[in-house]
């Protein structure tokens, strides 16, 4: 045990995880050893005979379990970004242990009594605002985790939470397996008609890597999306669409229907045990929106403002498709294909025209350079810091005064061992310990277009926006300046956490930034003004449809989590009814979005997916200030850093937002930006 690298002091630069020394077989014993240490720390707090105080109860609890947190951060980040059967098996064994450990804290009567005694005297305590909030949040968290339960209810809560943790893990494993299981091999070159050369080259390289002849396409986004946009072969588009849209809904060993039924029913059971009518009521208590009625009102407002625009968007694509020879109705696997052609005709633009200007290395410099211009950050690549995969890049991050701020890991490309999508996470969050500022270890994980033998990684415009988005989350983590780890960085309300990320996306449509980033990888030519203008104009193209699509996800999420009775119906039919107000196409038998909806069943966004749109209102309103004062204005950036990025969860998000903006946000800037106002 003494030789377990996870239980030793990390003698690496900045105490980063020693990935080059960690062995898979070390994880389980490390978890158990760290859990035992953490339990003793908790017992000491609970058994303390001194009068309960903020320091010996709230702070002591906050500081407990640091080693267990460090091991968990390493392991579960790898389970998402570089997993295998061994890692998944360990996760299945560890999750129930961690849930039990967590429950042992929140359901510890002696510990809760100490917390409550401090909480009851909060008005008389000389606490800083962040300490006051930590005290209030700690007390609320105990209550929200079952501290007031008694007898059988307490045991039922333990059972429910344990099963939920296992089901969530299984859901994610199933989606990853379903994504990896399907491939579309092509040997007849005629079936590649319409596909750009770069897409074909990537498919040929993938086939060769698998020992196959011809070309290979997968459900990973950099392969799937270009195929759906450009492949002329309608039957193959349909095949790809159905494979993607039936993930977790095929009646096989990776089917997620029963998991969904169990999860929503158990989430309801948990909410009821804690005194809430629905899971959404439980979740939204800790949000800016505060209630399901307000969320539904918000979604309804956006729906009413955008549905007519969305219908026109679809009608325009269908009319265009008819001129291109489409027979019969426009199907879901036709939409993006013809929409891309219509964009090319109307705007003279498609992804392949801009892709040569978005070489990953230059985009990386542009994104990091944006943080330099706004916040004075400096990024220095360090190849000595160990990584969990040889494709991961690592940067040291410093401020203008050369003060170390963070380590930044970036993992760009898809792998069978990596979940789809893109996310920001941390191997360590920022906090103060014994007067020392412990700086964060932040990681950005994406699934961008891979380089080929003849071309570097060339990104689509959406991939550029995704990079900016995740980097915005990264800034939230890297610039954190708080005292307590639980308030650090992105530890904020779910409907506020997307503000820094979505704010960063705005620079993707600013000419001055695009001219710095958009340099042709072969000729060195700066992206022409005409192309930049088309790119900016394209943001409003089909924006009604894009809005409705997001709203459909939010309504689906809310429907699942406003159930008032256990669910044993048909998952597919329930989803159709939930998304009916946003429906623009006839349903397709066998497809189901919920069975692969990892955000809400394996990603912490249950009853919170609306938060993307909620935060979009904030980011559009916030960026208006940059547009008024200058998109690289250091004073505005400093204010956003000081009032939002550095503050984490130390204060209520609306207070932080108003400190930056001077007023509460309005929905109008978002509607105007999207071209969804009547005057447009």
Residue corresponding to tokens 């040997």: 187
* CB-side neighbour CA atoms (13 Å) of 422: 25
pLDDT digits (tens, 9 = 90+) for 189-199: 999 999 999 99
Whether residue 1 has pLDDT greater than 80: no
pLDDT digits (tens, 9 = 90+) for 631-677: 999 999 999 999 999 999 999 999 999 999 999 998 999 999 999 88
Distance CA 115, CA 135 (A): 8
Annotated active-site residue in 173, 178, 463, 470: 470
Q: Which helix (H) or strand (E) holds 428?
A: strand 423-428
Average pLDDT of the chain to the nearest whole number: 96
Q: Are 245 and 217 in contact (CB under 8 A)?
A: no
Q: Give the right CATH number for 5-148 from 3.40.50.300, 1.20.1050.40, 1.10.150.20, 3.40.50.150.
A: 1.20.1050.40
Contacts of 625 (CB under 8 A, 6+ apart): 636, 660, 661
pLDDT digits (tens, 9 = 90+) for 516-565: 999 999 999 999 999 999 999 999 999 999 999 999 999 999 999 999 99
Distance CA 616, CA 618 (A): 5
Please choose, from the candidates 247, 211, 558, 215, the residue with its C-alpha nearest in 3D space to the C-alpha of residue 419.
247
Q: Average the pLDDT over 284-296 and give the result.
A: 97
Distance CA 25, CA 42 (A): 27
Distance CA 339, CA 356 (A): 21
Q: Average the pLDDT over 107-124 and give the result.
A: 97
Instruction: Give the pLDDT score at 678.
Output: 64
Q: Average the pLDDT over 273-296 and give the result.
A: 97
Distance CA 65, CA 520 (A): 50
Whether residue 342 has pLDDT greater than 80: yes
Whether residue 406 has pLDDT greater than 70: yes
pLDDT digits (tens, 9 = 90+) for 166-196: 999 999 999 999 999 999 999 999 999 999 9
Tell me the domain boundaries of the chain: 5-148, 182-245
Report the b/e string of 347-362 with b at 16+ CB within 10 A.
eebbbbbbbbbbbbeb
Whether residue 679 has pLDDT greater than 60: no
pLDDT digits (tens, 9 = 90+) for 46-94: 999 999 999 999 999 999 999 999 999 999 999 999 999 999 999 999 9
- Annotated active-site residue 285? The verdict is no
Distance CA 587, CA 471 (A): 36
pLDDT-based confidence at 680, cuts 50/70/90?
Answer: very low
Whether residue 357 has pLDDT greater than 60: yes
Distance CA 565, CA 268 (A): 7
3-class SS of residue 333: helix
């Amino acid at each position: 045990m003494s030789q377990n690298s996870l239980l030793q002091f990390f003698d690496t630069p900045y105490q980063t995880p020693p990935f080059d020394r960690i062995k898979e077989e070390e994880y389980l014993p490390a978890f158990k050893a760290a859990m035992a240490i953490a339990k003793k720390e908790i017992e000491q707090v609970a058994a303390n005979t001194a009068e309960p105080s903020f320091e010996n109860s709230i702070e002591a609890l906050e500081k407990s379990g640091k080693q267990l947190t460090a091991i968990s951060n390493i392991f579960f980040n790898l389970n998402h970004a570089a997993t295998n059967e061994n890692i998944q098996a360990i996760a299945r064994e560890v999750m129930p242990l961690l849930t039990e450990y967590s429950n042992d804290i929140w359901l510890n009567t002696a510990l809760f009594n100490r917390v409550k005694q401090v909480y009851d005297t909060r008005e008389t305590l000389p606490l800083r605002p962040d300490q006051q909030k930590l005290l209030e949040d700690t007390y609320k968290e105990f209550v929200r985790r079952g501290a007031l339960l008694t007898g059988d209810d307490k045991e039922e809560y333990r059972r429910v939470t344990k099963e939920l943790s296992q089901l969530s893990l299984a859901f994610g494993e199933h989606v990853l397996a379903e994504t990896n299981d399907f491939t579309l091999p092509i040997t007849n070159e005629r079936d590649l008609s319409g596909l750009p050369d770069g897409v074909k080259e990537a498919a040929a390289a993938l086939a060769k890597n698998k020992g196959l002849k011809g070309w290979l396409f997968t459900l990973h986004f950099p392969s799937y999306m270009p195929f759906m946009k450009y492949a002329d072969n309608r039957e193959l588009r349909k095949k790809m669409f159905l494979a993607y849209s039936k993930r977790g809904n095929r009646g096989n060993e990776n089917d997620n229907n029963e998991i969904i039924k169990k999860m929503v029913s158990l989430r309801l059971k948990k909410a009821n045990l804690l005194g809430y009518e629905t899971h959404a009521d439980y979740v939204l208590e800790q949000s800016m929106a505060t209630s399901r009625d307000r969320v539904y009102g918000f979604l309804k407002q956006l729906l009413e403002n955008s549905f007519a625009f969305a219908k026109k968007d679809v009608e325009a694509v269908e009319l265009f498709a008819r001129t291109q020879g489409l027979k019969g109705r426009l199907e879901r696997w036709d939409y993006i294909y013809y929409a891309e052609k219509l964009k090319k005709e109307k705007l003279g633009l498609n992804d392949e025209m801009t892709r040569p200007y978005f070489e990953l290395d230059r985009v990386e410099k542009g994104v990091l350079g944006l943080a330099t211009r706004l916040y004075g950050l400096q990024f220095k690549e360090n190849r000595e810091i160990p990584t969990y995969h040889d494709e991961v890049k690592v940067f040291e991050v410093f401020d203008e005064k050369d003060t170390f701020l963070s380590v930044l890991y970036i993992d760009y490309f898809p792998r069978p061992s990596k979940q789809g999508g893109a996310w920001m996470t941390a191997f360590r969050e920022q906090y103060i310990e014994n007067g020392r500022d412990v700086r964060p270890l932040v990681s950005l994980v994406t699934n961008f277009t891979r380089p080929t033998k003849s071309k570097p990684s060339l990104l689509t415009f959406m991939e550029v926006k995704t990079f900016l988005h995740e980097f915005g989350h990264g800034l939230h983590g890297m610039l954190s300046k708080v005292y307590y780890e639980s308030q650090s960085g992105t530890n904020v309300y779910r409907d506020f956490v997307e503000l820094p990320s979505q704010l960063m996306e705005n620079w993707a449509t600013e000419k001055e930034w695009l001219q710095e980033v958009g340099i042709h990888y072969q000729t060195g030519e700066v992206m022409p003004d005409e192309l930049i203008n088309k790119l900016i104009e394209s943001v409003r193209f089909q924006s009604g449809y894009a809005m409705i699509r997001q709203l459909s996800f939010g309504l689906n999420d809310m429907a699942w989590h406003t159930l008032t009775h256990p669910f044993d119906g048909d998952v597919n039919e329930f989803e159709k009814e939930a998304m009916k107000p946003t429906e623009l196409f006839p349903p397709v038998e066998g497809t189901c979005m919920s069975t692969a909806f990892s955000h809400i069943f394996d990603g912490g966004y249950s009853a919170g997916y609306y938060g993307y749109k909620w935060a979009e209102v904030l980011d559009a309103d916030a960026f208006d200030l940059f547009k008024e004062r200058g998109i690289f204005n250091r004073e505005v950036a400093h204010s956003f850093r000081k009032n939002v990025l550095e503050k984490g969860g130390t204060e209520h998000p609306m207070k932080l937002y108003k400190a930056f903006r001077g007023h509460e946000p309005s929905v109008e800037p978002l509607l105007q930006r999207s071209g969804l106002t009547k005057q447009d």
